[in-house]
Amino acid sequence: MVAWFSTNLLKPHYGRPYPVHFKYEPSFFNHFMHWDAVWYTHIAVYGYRNSTVHIPTIAFFPGYSIIMKFIHIFVDKDISFLYILPAVIFQGASMYMLYLLLKALNINDKTIHMTLLLFSFYPSSFFGMSAYPVSALNFFAISVFYFILKREYLIASILAGLGTLFGPLTVFLSVVIFFDIVKSKKTTDYPKAILYGVLSVWGFIGFVLYSFYKFKDPIAFIHAQDWWGKPTLLKRISNILMLIPHDIPSHPISTPLGVYEFDHFINLLIMIAYILIIVFAIDRLPLHYTLFA
């Protein structure tokens, strides 16, 4: 219900034309094929493009589209429900892995239940009911930390590598795996740390090699961001710190801290959230865990 209301009440503004020849089977589930879900589907059906003539879909990582490709091959038509189903499965699997992780940390049941409840309804949870890789990224990140805790570094590295097919943030899990192994300060662990660190980005390396083979540009997915109007990582961080609004319509909002534009206020909340994460985590977690947060 959260997903349905979110995608219907928060109607997106499409700044660029969607492929008009791209049709879905009419159904209730079309409501969950918003925003970039169309482009993940487009990649699955037509493959990647990277040019100023065609929309550079190489900007999107391939993991979710690969799953959609297999679905498309199997059913030979575009059925939105089947494209959404993997996200729902990943969302459920994320909940289960989070439960296992909290149990492994000896967290009491009341806190576990509250954590799972909050995880189910956090602001971006509706992506778990949309053809997006967000729930997959959650699953791989949580699973990697669980297997790191269990000292199952090989499994953690393989899962982290899979995660890098779905989005760039999971690349940083390799740093967590590397430092978790070398923290023992045994010289014999360094080769293993390097090996598992590299293994944990195998999906990303594969995507880079594909980009080089297909477009003669190993970081085409970065260069394509300009067409989509997305700022660089450093620019995004700068925008948050400086409370610079995004390119969306805004309006004034009164707060106990003063009057802000709405998107200024959202950026302020994000910055406060990051600070709180670091403050609470730094005394409770190893430094390399905190850095990932």
Q: Write down the domain spans for the chain.
A: 2-230, 231-293
Dist CA 159 CA 155 (whole Å): 6
List of residues 6+ apart from 11 with CB closer than 8 A: none
pLDDT of residue 61: 92
Q: Give the bridge partners for 260, in sequence order.
A: 253
pLDDT of residue 19: 46
- The alpha carbon torsion through 26, 30, 33, 34 (nearest 10 deg) reads 110
**How do residues 79-106 score in pLDDT, each as one tens digit?**
677 888 899 999 999 999 999 999 998 8
Q: Give the bridge partners for 258, in sequence order.
A: 255
Give the count of beta carbons closer than 10 Å to the beta carbon of residue 112. Answer: 16
Q: Give the bridge partners for 255, in sequence order.
A: 258
Pull the structure tokens for residue 249.
């319509």
Q: Give burial (CB, 10 Å; 0-12/13-18/19+) of 185.
A: exposed
Pull the structure tokens for residue 260.
């802000």
DSSP output for 207-274 = HHHHHHHHHS-TTHHHHTHHHHTPPPHHHHHHHHHTT---SS---EEEETTEEEEHHHHHHHHHHHHH
Pull the structure tokens for residue 195.
């090996």
Residues in the chain where the model's pLDDT stays below 50: 9-22, 24, 248-251, 253, 259
CB 34 within 8 A of CB 6: no
pLDDT of residue 30: 64
pLDDT of residue 207: 93
Instruction: Phi first, then psi: give them for residue 40, nearest 5 degrees.
Output: -60, -40
Positive or negative torsion for Cα 45, 171, 55, 34: positive
pLDDT of residue 22: 47
Model pTM score: 0.79
Dist CA 282 CA 290 (whole Å): 6
Dist CA 129 CA 144 (whole Å): 23
**How do residues 136-178 score in pLDDT, each as one tens digit?**
999 999 999 999 989 999 999 999 999 999 998 889 899 899 8
Pull the structure tokens for residue 16.
């660029």
pLDDT of residue 249: 46
